[in-house]
Amino acid sequence: MKILVGVKRVIDYEVKIRVKTDETGVETSNVKMSMNPFDEIAVEEAIRLKEAGGADEIIVVSMGEAKCQETLRTALAMGADRAIHVTTDAELQPLAVAKGFAALAKREDVNLVLLGKQAIDDDNNQSAQMLAGLLHWPQGTFASKLEFGEGKLTIIREVDGGSETLELDLPAVVSVDLRLNEPRYPTLPNIMRAKKKSLEALSPEDLSIDIAPRLKVIKVTAPPKRKAGIKLETAAELVDRLHNEAKVI
DSSP per-residue codes, 62-91: EEESTTHHHHHHHHHHHT-SEEEEEE--S-
pLDDT 10s digits, 158-193: 888 888 999 999 999 999 999 899 999 999 999 999
- Given a cut of 90, whether residue 87 has pLDDT beyond it is yes
The whole-number pLDDT of residue 248 equals: 84
Q: Which of 217, 28, 97, 60 lies closest to 11 in space, CA to CA? A: 28
pLDDT at 29: 84
Q: Are 142 and 158 in contact (CB under 8 A)?
A: yes
Query: CATH top-level class for 2-214?
Result: alpha beta
Q: Please state the pTM of the whole predicted model.
A: 0.86
Looking at residue 203, the DSSP 8-state letter turns out to be -
Domain ranges for the chain: 2-214
How many CA atoms within 13 Å lie on the side-chain side of 203? 4
Q: Give SS3 for 39.
A: helix
SS3 of residue 36 by DSSP: coil
For 129-166, write each residue's pLDDT tens digit: 999 999 999 999 999 999 887 778 999 998 888 889 99
Rounded to an integer, what distance in angstroms lies between the CA atom of residue 8 and that of residue 119? 7
d(CA 173, CA 171): 7
DSSP 85-124: EEE--S---HHHHHHHHHHHHHHHT-SEEEEES--TTT--
